[in-house]
Amino acid sequence: MAENDAMPTLPKKCGPYISSVTSRGMNLVIRGIVLFFIGVFLALVLNLLQIQRNVTLFPPDVITSIFSSAWWVPPCCGTASAVIGLLYPCMDRHLGEPHKFKREWSSVMRCVAVFVGINHASAKVDFANNIQLSLTLAALSIGLWWTFDRSRSGFGLGVGIAFLATLVSQFLVYNGVYQYTSPDFLYVRSWLPCIFFAGGITMGNIGRQLAMVPLHRRSDRTELK
């Protein structure tokens, strides 16, 4: 019994931690690369779904990839995902409100699944009109934030991302880069901000989890202070 009491308690492993990389610059680069490729993958899958349902239409001369999507869509979504995923933990530290709600990979994977489901509903489910669809997706998006985030910074960043991304989409459609079928919110669909909001929350949760610091490193930093 005495030998067992004397043995040091090892920190419980909860998953891979990129923060184990000692260099802060290298840490940011690795997280950014991981977020970029996650964003590229989600863009290919979700954009393919939208094109198959004729929700999004690209001119024939820009459709060059095997996924029937414009070549610039995946890199742009990957870059946006990297920025969002790095911005969320940065804002948490800046505001002094570390995000502690459901910090495990299983919760992050469920959040991704719900986001894919919301995007799937926007393309597959037939509603009576766009207003009904927009209200339904808005409720689902807010429900995603409430279930997997619940932070004021997360909600604020999600709204800001939705607003900015919608403006960019309006600009691109106005200049003929691509178009939406049956636009009802200027040049785009009215439910698009809901998708952007849910996507921002999802990538923010992934970014927060990648930035998570293992318990033994937290204790070391506390002792140094």
Give me the mean pLDDT over the 41-64 stretch: 62
Give me the mean pLDDT over the 65-78 stretch: 69
Secondary structure class of 180 (helix, strand, coil): strand
How many Å apart are CA 205 and CA 207, to the nearest integer? Answer: 5
How many Å apart are CA 63 and CA 68, to the nearest integer? Answer: 6
Q: Report the candidate in 71, 176, 191, 72 with the shortest Cα–Cα distance to residue 131.
A: 191
Q: Are 136 and 127 within 8 A, CB to CB?
A: yes
Render pLDDT for 82-125 as a digit per residue (tens, 0 to 9).
999 999 998 888 887 766 776 788 999 999 999 998 888 877 77
pLDDT greater than 90 at residue 62: no
Model-level pTM? 0.77
How many CB atoms are located within 10 Å of the residue 23 CB?
Answer: 9
Can you give the pLDDT at residue 20? 58
Q: Are 73 and 64 within 8 A, CB to CB?
A: no
Q: Specify the higher pLDDT residue, 133 or 98.
A: 133
Q: Are 39 and 81 within 8 A, CB to CB?
A: yes
Render pLDDT for 175-197 as a digit per residue (tens, 0 to 9).
877 777 777 777 788 888 999 99
3-state helix, strand, coil in the chain (%, to 5): 70, 5, 30
Can you give the pLDDT at residue 22? 61
C-alpha angle 161-166-168 in degrees, rounded to nearest 5: 100
Can you give the pLDDT at residue 52? 56
Domain ranges of the chain: 26-52+61-217
